[in-house]
Structure 1
Amino acid sequence: MMPRDNMTSTVQKIAKQALVTFRNPSIVGEHNKVFLENQSKLKNLLAEVRAADLKIVPRSVESASMMPPQRLAPPVTYMHIYETDAFSMGVFLLKTGASIPLHDHPGMYGMLKVIYGKVRISCFDRLDKPREGTSGVVQFNPPLMPFQRSSLRPSVLRSVGEYTEDSGPCVLSPQKDNIHQIDAVDGPTAFLDILAPPYEPDEGRDCHYYKVLHAHSEAADRNSEAQEQGDRWLMEIPQPSEFWSGGEPYPGPKVSL
């Protein structure tokens, strides 16, 4: 039997609410009142979590510098906490200067809550087609090969924000802020991460990486409003060679659902 302190721990409560929120796919959606109420409860629980609740000691720049050389140690590590068919939960730890490159979460919801340090999150939305006033002959410098053009996706930069442990969670959905990049700012950082449902390549939920391209066209030049709103082109690329991740044991209260 699980110890009572584990059953009443913050992470147990978060996991329980995540299961309630995401376990029934038929009600998961931005237009379902029950789902939105459950999602709001989960967001409120996440807003309160701190590193101490997970028994994670924040790492300083000094302690990070004592780790093995950067070329040998992964820039990002992951602590697995719990996973079901409905959601996965864990902690990502980023070393000083580390970044999780621009990537997507196909058909997935997500919540990210910083537990120490600071991150900068740049969020993009994919567009079905270039917005009115931005079409026309698009030029890239350097020019792209035909096979590269086939992997281009019109997108818009929705937001760039910085988050600390005092910030509320960053929330993504299948339609909004689904593509994002996460950068450590001013030292090591860590965040609790929930994805629903988890990545599953066999079901079309695989992680893809992207590069931002800045295009030039006469139509876009005439439409300064679209430029200011952040219209971009994303090109799918292989996982960047400078990014890889490792694993660490999770030291906090266990979860049981």
Structure 2
Amino acid sequence: MMPRDNMTSLIQKIARQALTTFKNSSLVGENNKVFVENQAKLKSLLAEIKAADLKIVPRKVDSPTLHVPHSPPVTYMPICETDAFSMGVFLLKTGTCIPLHDHPGMHGMLKVLYGKVRISCFDRLEKPPDVASGVQFNPPLLPFQRSSIRRSVLRSVGEYTEESSPCVLTPQRDNIHQIDAVDGPTAFLDILAPPYDPDDGRDCHYYKVVQSDLEAADKKTEAQGPTEVWLMEIPQPTDFWCGGEAYPGPEVSI
């Protein structure tokens, strides 16, 4: 008879390691040796996961004839959620994206299961609130819009496939990002710690780049390194919403 641990699914092992990594909030931080070691173990486990491990069949290239009117561009399969972390799978249709958004005070890991995503990562720069007072924007901003402006830096733009290592974000680095489906539908496993909770100051905010075209900023980043840009907080884009799907994979218990 096989030892019980050898019979445990990989996704169950990932969930247990995520709980070990994030359950003690006082230890979570890049300066804590125990946390760093646990985070490395979690990243290593996450690197092994495949779509087949979750019983997810890669979607084929979307056909216009198969599109259901008003169907969500992105869907989410919840796997588990605790006070310490949430875990699930996002599925993006061809040509769609999860718009530029943040994860206040949260750590995260993302592992592509199939397809390809492009992730553009920004960091907010700590500057005085009136830093934009003398800046001219094109087109000009209204007074109330200036209060939503944040000086930021486009840190990186990278493409990830199922062969890539997990993408990691922290409260300070790569915390604001946009995720685009590239060349077809895609799916990725997502861990956030702690989960979003508006009552505890962890609500999702959306942004757009102003005074700088994102594509031009991407090219400059590739050529010259991190590029300073202005981000403006905006309402959730009207063409983005997230539907729900049932998770078909092995049961996870925490």
Note whether the superposition's TM-score is higher than 0.5: yes
1:135, CA displacement in angstroms? 8.0
What aligned pairs does 1:75-86 form with structure 2 within 5 A after superposition?
75-86=73-84
- Runs of 4+ in structure 1 deviating by more than 4 angstroms, as ranges, are 4-7
Residues 86 and 228 of structure 1, relative CA distance in 2, 3 Å threshold: closer
Q: In structure 1, what is the Cα distance between the partners aligned to 2:231 and 2:56?
A: 36
Structure 1 Cα separation of the partners of residues 152 and 86 of structure 2: 27
* 2:188 paired with 1:195: no
1:38 and 1:206, CA in 2 relative to 1: closer, same or farther beyond 3 A? same
Whole-angstrom distance in 1 between the partners of 2:132 and 2:146: 15
Cα distance, 1:156 vs. partner? 0.1
2:252 match: secondary structure: coil
Question: Aligned residue pairs: how many?
Answer: 238
1:95-140 residue CA offsets vs partner (Å, 9 max, x unmatched): 000100000000000000000000000000000118xxx9883111
Secondary structure of 1:185's counterpart equals: strand
CA distance in 1, matches of 2:204, 2:88: 17
Q: How does 1:11-160 map to 2 (within 5 A)?
A: 11-62=11-62, 65=64, 67-69=66-68, 71-129=69-127, 137-160=134-157
Instruction: Map 1:166-185 to 2 at 5 A.
Output: 166-185=163-182
What's the TM-score, normalizing by structure 1?
0.88
Identity of aligned pairs, percent?
A: 76
Pick closer, same or farther for the CA change 1:129–1:167 going to 2, 3 Å: same
Paired residue type of 1:139:
Q
List runs of 5+ in structure 2 lacking aligned partners.
213-223
Distance across 2 between alignment mates of 1:115 and 1:229: 28
Indicate the residue corresponding to 1:250 in structure 2.
247
Report the residue type matching 1:87 in the other structure: F
In 1, Cα distance between equivalents of 2:248 and 2:5: 14
Inter-partner Cα distance in structure 1 for 2:49 and 2:64: 27
Query: Deviations 1:20-67 (Å, cap 9, x if unpaired)?
Result: 0000001000100000000000000000100000000001115x5454
Query: Residues 151-201 of structure 1, C-alpha deviation per residue, up to 9 Å, x if partnerless?
Result: 100000000000000000000000000000000000000000000000000
Conserved 8 A contact 2:74-2:96: yes
RMSD between superposed Cα atoms in Å: 1.9
Matches of 2:97 and 2:141 in 1, distance apart? 26
Give the conservation status (yes or no) of the 8 Å contact 2:132–2:149: no
Cα separation, 2, equivalents of 1:81 and 1:157: 31
Separation in structure 2 between the aligned mates of residue 242 and residue 25 of structure 1, nearest angstrom: 36
Residue 230 of structure 1 is aligned with which of 204, 227, 232?
A: 227
- TM-score (normalised: structure 2): 0.89
1:210 counterpart letter in structure 2: Y
- Judge conservation of contact 1:6–1:12 (CA < 8 Å) in 2: no
